[in-house]
Each structure stands twice: as structure tokens, then as C-alpha cells.
Structure 1
């Protein structure tokens, strides 16, 4: 079954530097309908219309793609706090050569992600229903990923403790942030120093003519994260570094 694609989509994809095939475009188009159908059962997203989902969820998630596309085949990416699969599912559709792990604490949301990956035929996606603090201390996942991504999860000083322990030395974490990024990075000075962060790169996610002012920030994993981190579940949010 094909789904309508809003007229603005090709222009927006071109503006953010993302190229997709017709098959990928149809998978992207099917995804918001899956989300909105599931929304009838429980609150997966506040968005109620496919066009709004394209603008606020899908295009926004795809702004991460230009920074990820050059990673080699079978590079491992983890989406921390994916919710209903954002940004991980759009990334998995747009860059099928990546091995994408979706990490989500809430069981219903994790189950939706599994369902969506199956319906969309995403063989490069696995879903973990657990907390970042827990798997960050599990040797099967700790420092095993080339990349970690997140969107709308929390302040940078908290995100760093969730994400960097999962990333290999030499890998990168990428986050979509708003105009308060500079202050968030200033507040995160201790976390950056303690968790093994290196180079920081920030780029505007959208061209100037767009009203959206999201910023993609990339942070290199330069050193191994001390075993102390991440701390026990709940502590990173209650007592940020």
C-alpha cells in the first residue's frame, strides 16, 4: 500500500542534503501512519496529522543523515531513548548499510518499534527494552557502538552520561538540540571531562530560510569512560554531572 507524500517533502529533503530512493521514500511515508494508528491505543506522539509528522519528526530526524552517511558498511548505531523510533527508524530507512539499535525504556513504545521495523521491512534494526544506565554497564553494549544518536531526550549533561558509555573510543555521539545548545554545553563541562569526550562540532540542521533552528551537535569519544559511569538508573537525571 502506498501513502501520500506531502508536496514539501522533496524540497525539504534536498535542502537538508538527503537523497532517498522511491522505495525508501515510501517506507518513510508509511511510518507516520503506523505511529498514528498506534496512537489510538496509547499516547505515542502528540502529533495527529501525517503532514505534521513529516515536518516535526521525519525531516527533523533525517537532518542527522548527512553526518552519518560516510560511516562504513555495518557500522553500529544506537538510538538512545528512541520513543516511537525517532530518529532511529528514519535513519535506518535512509542508510540501510548501518546496523541500528533502538533503545527504549517504556515497553509499549519498544513493542511499537519492533512492530514498525517488521512492517517496514527493516532487517538492519533491533530493539532493546531497557535503560541506558543499565546497558551502559553491560559488557555486551558498553563501548560497542560506533555512533549514538538522540533527539528530545534531555539536557546535554544528562545525555552525555546516557550516550558516551555506549560509544567506542574513536566513535561519535550526535544529538539534535535547540538554540540553548551553547549554554547546555557550558553546563556540561564536568560531564564532558569525566566521560571521555573529545572534539565537539555543531552545525545548523536546516538552511537559514527554514523556521526550524535545530542544531546537530557531534561529540567525539576520545577516551574510555570510567567504569563509574553511567551511574545507577535514575541518578543521572536526579544528580546531573
Structure 2
């Protein structure tokens, strides 16, 4: 995607950005494609589609959801850094923790933290079910974000334990989410959380549409959750 078109998309959304924002996304793109030859980071390799389906898709959170200044965010199952690295490039104030269970992806994330000069950012190799039982991370974040990781029930069990009371889980989902929302009601009851908002998203210069689901944490997560590794995905609440 040409610089002018990308910046116009940011302007349409009213997002603020530094003068070198496109240069940083270009560095990100070149490294993403280079690493992708060795590590499975993305099935999308067309540059225009990377900007549309990865970067603008991720940045829709900044358009549609208000994030407090200097807030702490954990990106669960971040993969190649989506949605959090695009968010961090525009919002340098964010305190970011990126979590992934594959070592090779974490190596890529650490390299991007260095090459993009992303301050107040860390990348961790761990499973969400294990790390969420660690007192240094449990109920320690203002927000959790996640994109294309699991169904909503499983996602809540992965992410809500990381979030402080009255904090939020922000999920990027496809267009058809009503059934998923219905099937997650029991999980949300057990995990003391509830849907605050479902937002219809349209991407500038694109036919791509999706939903952002904002889930509020209403009380402490019972100690039983998350269950041991593998259980939330095999047997959703």
C-alpha cells in the first residue's frame, strides 16, 4: 500500500501518528516477509493485503475503542504481533506485553521491539494458561487484546485472568459472531465478565468488515481459571 493511501486511511479514522510512521510499518513489513520464509508468521504475503488485513485491521481498535494513556496491555497469542505492534507504533505511551507459545515467533517479536524502537514493550514465551496463574501477571493489565486465536469462550478463559477488575478484553472477530457470543454466556458468568459492546468495523479502501467485541471484567477471576494447558480449547466452558 502506498504511503499516501495508508496515511489517508489513518486520517479518515482520525488517528494521530508520527512523521516516521510509514517508515516503521515498512521496516515491519520487510522483516515480516523475511522471517516468514523460515517461520510461519502469516499466510498473507501480498504487501497491499498486509496493510489492509493486518495493519489497518489491528489499528481499528484505536479508532473504535478508547484506551487510557499509559495503560498496560497484554496481547494473548500475538503471533507476528497483531494487533499490538501496529497499535504500539501509533501509541508509544502503551505499556505492552506480547505473549506467544512459539519460541521462534517470540524471537521475531523481540527483533521487532529492537528494530522499531518500541519502548515499554516485552515479548514472552509462555502458554496463557500457565502465565495467567503467575501472580506477577494475573489481574495485572488494564486491557487484554486478541485476534483470531480461539472461540470467544476459550478466549475469555485465556485472557480475562490477566485483566484487572473493571478492565477490558478487546477481541477482533469476523462478521458472524452472534452464535459465538451466545455460546460464551456460561464462560462469562463463570469468569465474572460481560459484553460491554459489539462494534461493527469497516476498513477504509477495503471491503473487509469485522467486529470488535469489548468485554468488561466485573470481579476477580476464580482461582480455578484458567484450567491447565490445553483444556480451555479442548473443553470450552
Q: Do both share a fold (TM > 0.5)?
A: yes
User: Within 5 Å, which residues of 2 pair with 1:66-215?
Assistant: 66-67=63-64, 69-73=66-70, 75-206=71-202, 210-215=206-211
Query: What's 1:50 paired with?
Result: 47
* Cα offset, 1:191, TM superposition: 0.5
Calculate the TM-score normalised by the size of structure 2: 0.94
**Contact 1:69 1:95 survives alignment (8 Å):** no
Once the two structures are superposed, residues 142-199 of structure 1 have per-residue CA deviations (whole angstroms, 9 ceiling, x without a partner) of: 0000000011111101100001000000110101111221111100010110111034
**Contact 1:174 1:216 survives alignment (8 Å):** yes
Give secondary structure in 1 for the equivalent of 2:222: coil
Once the two structures are superposed, residues 36-87 of structure 1 have per-residue CA deviations (whole angstroms, 9 ceiling, x without a partner) of: 01112222111222222111111110001134554022x1100000001111
Query: Equivalents in 2 of 1:90, 1:185: separation in Å?
Result: 27
Segment drifting more, 20-29 vs 128-137: 20-29
Q: Where in structure 1 are there 5+ consecutive unaligned residues?
A: none
| RMSD between superposed Cα atoms in Å | 1.7
Query: Equivalents in 1 of 2:142, 2:22: separation in Å?
Result: 26
In the alignment, structure 1 residue 63 sits paired with structure 2 residue 60: yes
**Contact 2:165 2:217 survives alignment (8 Å):** yes
Query: Equivalents in 2 of 1:212, 1:49: separation in Å?
Result: 15
- Give 1:41's match in structure 2, choosing from 22, 38, 43: 38
* Cα offset, 1:124, TM superposition: 2.1
**Contact 1:16 1:205 survives alignment (8 Å):** no
Query: Equivalents in 1 of 2:87, 2:172: separation in Å?
Result: 13
Query: Equivalents in 1 of 2:222, 2:120: separation in Å?
Result: 30
Segment drifting more, 139-148 vs 208-217: 208-217
Aligned length: 237
Once the two structures are superposed, residues 84-124 of structure 1 have per-residue CA deviations (whole angstroms, 9 ceiling, x without a partner) of: 11111111111110100000000000110001111111112
**Contact 1:15 1:206 survives alignment (8 Å):** no
Calculate the TM-score normalised by the size of structure 1: 0.93
Query: What's 2:22 paired with?
Result: 25
Q: Where in structure 2 are there 5+ consecutive unaligned residues?
A: none
* Cα offset, 1:28, TM superposition: 1.9
Query: Equivalents in 1 of 2:7, 2:69: separation in Å?
Result: 26
